[in-house]
Amino acid sequence: WVSAADGRIKGWDWDAHDENGFAELMNRNEWFDIDAGDAQGQANGYASRTGVKVVTANEELNEFFFPGFIDTHIHAPQYPNAGLFGSSTLLDWLDTYTFPVESGFGTLPDRKTGHQTTTDPQDTPLHAQQIYSQVIARTLSHGTTCASYFATIHIPATNALASLCHTRGQRAFIGRVCMDNPSFCPDYYRDHSASDSTTATRHTIEYIHALDPEGKLVKPIVTPRFAPSCSKPALQSLADLAAAYTPPLHIQTHISENPNEVELVKEVFPEADSYTGVYDMYGLLTPRTILAHAVHLSAQERALIRARDAKISHCPASNSALGSGVCPVRTLLDEGITVGLGTDVSGGYSPSILEAVRQACLASRLLGHTAAWKRENVNGEEKGGVGREMLSVAESLYLATRGGAAVVDMARDVGGFEVGMLWDVQLIQLGGVKGEGSPLDGGAGDGRVSLVRAGPIGNVDLFGTESWEEKIEKWVWSGDDRNVKAVWVGGRLVHTRG
Ligand code: GUN
Ligand code: FE
């Protein structure tokens, strides 16, 4: 039962699909009232419910509700490049693939002044609007109910992304990317000063606050791209900007993704004792900060992140695709750091968090073979030996839901099914079991399938012998968006499978 008033879970009825005709009310995406005097309500012994919606899962078709996925790190404008990275690694990938695609989201400069004077999302190029619409539709179709987006440096397009999320009903954090360091960023795609970076960010914050004053669905997030792309004054003023709001704004950036990047940070910031130290020095390491990747952190850096209660977005598909390394997630978790999953499109090739779940499991299984992990186990034997690095399917799904919810500071509202939480949910359908004599075949035993719905859906083949745990494992290893039948955000139906 979902409440119309606030889109939150009101209660559960585990046998709501019983024989008594109540099924008629099911799966209607309308709000309605069932009072105690209502014949059906009485017949079922339900208490009075007003302004509720009933949503049901059909167990015969192996349907189940799962909390919506939370993508804690995704670059919306990079979606056209998903799957395109060749054999590049981070720093040349940025120059070859990423800055060119992002730079296409700008407006034409004012003919007289040469400046981009507009903040109106209508001034976003049509192709940018189309790409942003497509990213939202695709991520929703994969069950992502909440995403923390990096946009580009452009104000109108960033505002357009916020508007589109708001209209389509996807929960989102929207970050205008800041990058003003001329020795790192190309002239054709950068902010021209620290104050440009900050002022432009403020414009997008104001726009988003006007769009969604209570931040019910869409919120701004301050987004210095990463340390090497930002001048020191920009890092400082962006931290000050985030801190100037009540409550302080969220912050997102990248950290310690690739060994050459870590070296570069040492060169550019000799005054800091580590990459993490750079962000801390400028006040960017807060309990509302999302740090993407965190592959090559030292023990001291992890301790600092823990002390500041900053959060980590683990992006395993991207880390493998760009050859960045293997993130020691087990160590992060053991040390008490909050971790969620990110697709990192298009360092990551897929907009699917289910793919990230699978890749998190796989990467963890390879970690024991890396030199860094072997060293860690020699030095820290008490932690347990090889094998402790492995993430189970359940742990990885936790990172995709409750972990992500904690990363975006919404653990009380999303990521689970407690009464009072928001109905941010995907309805997964694995399909029926086909076979002679199966009740779903009509039971005639004549080899004819009498109900079309009897077959499996997508790649998940079930044989009728699986426990629910095993069905979930099969979903994780072989499922995809074909298994996502419907998606709701805050009680609003935002996607149904075509
Ligand atoms: N570091 C700086 N910018 C980026 C980016 O766009 N993607 C990834 N994966 N890492 C980055
Ligand atoms: Fe990224």
Both tokens of 91, joined, read 């720093």
CB of residue 175 inside a 6 A radius of ligand 1: no
Does 456 or 230 have the greater pLDDT score? 230
Paired with 53 in beta bridges are 2
How far is residue 326's CA from residue 52's CA, in Å, rounded to a whole number? 46
* 416 is a domain residue: no
- Of 97, 98, 346, the one to substitute when testing ligand 1's pocket (max ligand atoms within 8 A of C-beta) is 98
- The residue from 407, 440, 466 where one domain ends is 407
CA-nearest residue, atom 8 of ligand 1:
347
Radius of gyration for the chain, computed over Cα atoms and rounded to the nearest angstrom: 24
Tally of structural domains, the chain: 2
Residues 55 and 82 in one domain: no
> 171 has which bridge partners?
146
Given pLDDT bands bounded at 50, 70 and 90, which one contains residue 125? confident
Tokens matching residue 349 = 């090739």
Q: Which residues contact 382 (CB under 8 A, 6 or more apart)?
A: none
Please give the share of the chain, as a percent, with pLDDT higher than 70: 85
Q: What are residue 175's phi and psi, to 5 degrees?
A: -120, 125
C-alpha–C-alpha distance, residues 220 and 176, integer Å: 8
Ligand 2 ion local residues (Cβ < 5 A): 344
Same domain? 60 vs 77: no
Q: Mutation test of ligand 1: which of 254, 260, 262, 322 has the most ligand atoms closer than 8 Å to its C-beta?
A: 254
In this predicted structure, what is the pLDDT of residue 277? Answer: 98
Say if residue 21's pLDDT is above 60. no
SS3 percent helix, strand, coil of the chain, rounded to 5, is 40, 15, 45
CATH of the domain at 112: 3.20.20.140
Is 0.95 exceeded by the ipTM? yes
Query: Residues 128-173: pLDDT tens digits?
Result: 999 999 999 999 999 999 999 999 999 999 999 999 999 999 999 9
Based on the fold, state whether residues 243 and 175 are members of the same structural domain. yes
Q: Is 344 in the pocket of ligand 1 (CB under 6 A)?
A: yes
The response to whether residue 318 sits with its C-beta less than 6 Å from ligand 1 reads yes
Cis peptide before 346 (omega within 30 of 0): yes
- Give the pair of three-digit tokens for residue 304: 């600092």
Instruction: Please report the pLDDT score of residue 38 as a whole number.
Output: 55
Q: Are residues 94 and 129 in the same domain?
A: yes
The tens digit of pLDDT for each residue in 290-319 reads: 999 999 999 999 999 999 999 999 999 999
Gap between the Cα atoms of 57 and 34, Å rounded:
20
Q: Which of 297, 233, 235, 302 is nearest to 261 (CA)?
A: 297
Report the C-alpha gap between 226 and 217 in whole angstroms: 26
More confident residue, 113 or 156: 156
Contact call for residues 478 and 459 (beta carbons, < 8 A): yes
Domain range enclosing 436: 2-67+422-496
60 and 112 housed in the same domain: no
Contact 333, 339 (CB under 8 A): yes
Query: Is 7 in contact with 492 (CB distance < 8 Å)?
Result: yes
pLDDT digits (tens, 9 = 90+) for 93-109: 999 999 999 999 997 55
The reported pLDDT for the residue numbered 377 is: 77
Instruction: Clarify whether residues 426 and 373 are in a common domain.
Output: no
98 lines ligand 1 (CB under 6 A): yes
| 228 CA closest ligand 1 atom index | 2
Cα 74 to ligand 2 centroid, rounded to whole Å: 6
Asked whether the CA dihedral 153, 154, 157, 161 is positive or negative, the reply is positive
Same domain, 403 and 428: no
Q: Per-residue confidence at 17, pLDDT binned at 50, 70, 90?
A: very low
Same domain, 265 and 203: yes
> Taking 60 as the threshold, does the pLDDT of residue 181 lie above it?
yes
What's the pLDDT score for residue 297?
97
43 located within any domain: yes
| 226 pocket-lining for ligand 1 (C-beta < 6 Å) | yes
Give the pair of three-digit tokens for residue 68: 């919506």
* 381 contact partners, CB below 8 Å, separation of at least 6: none
Write the pLDDT tens digit of every residue in 37-91. 555 555 555 555 677 777 888 888 899 999 999 999 999 999 999 999 999 999 9
The pLDDT, as a whole number, for residue 54 is 76
The answer on 487 and 340 residing in a single domain is no
Does residue 413 belong to any structural domain of this protein? no
pLDDT of residue 399: 98
Ligand 1 atom closest to 226 (CA): 2
Q: How far is CA 221 from CA 245, 280, 293, 455, in A?
A: 12, 18, 18, 44
Could you tell me if 74 and 39 lie in one domain?
no
